[in-house]
Amino acid sequence: MKKLILKFWIMNVLISIALFIIYRIVISEAKSVDETLFEKFISILEIFLNVGFSLLYLAGILISSFVIFLNLFKTIRTNLYWSLLTFLGLPSVFIIYLITDIWAIRRLNEENILTRLFTFLVIYLICNAIEFTIFRRKIQLHCNKI
The packing angle between helices 113-145 and 2-28, to 10°, is 160
Tens digit of each residue's pLDDT (9 = 90 or more) over 40-89: 787 788 778 878 878 888 888 888 888 888 888 888 888 888 888 888 88
**pLDDT band for position 130 (50/70/90)?**
very high
Can you tell me the distance from the alpha carbon of 112 to that of 65, in angstroms, rounded to the nearest whole number? 26
**In 3-state terms, the chain is what percent helix, strand and coil (to 5)?**
85, 0, 15
CA 70 from chain centre, in angstroms, equals 18
Tens digit of each residue's pLDDT (9 = 90 or more) over 90-122: 888 888 877 777 666 665 556 666 777 778 888
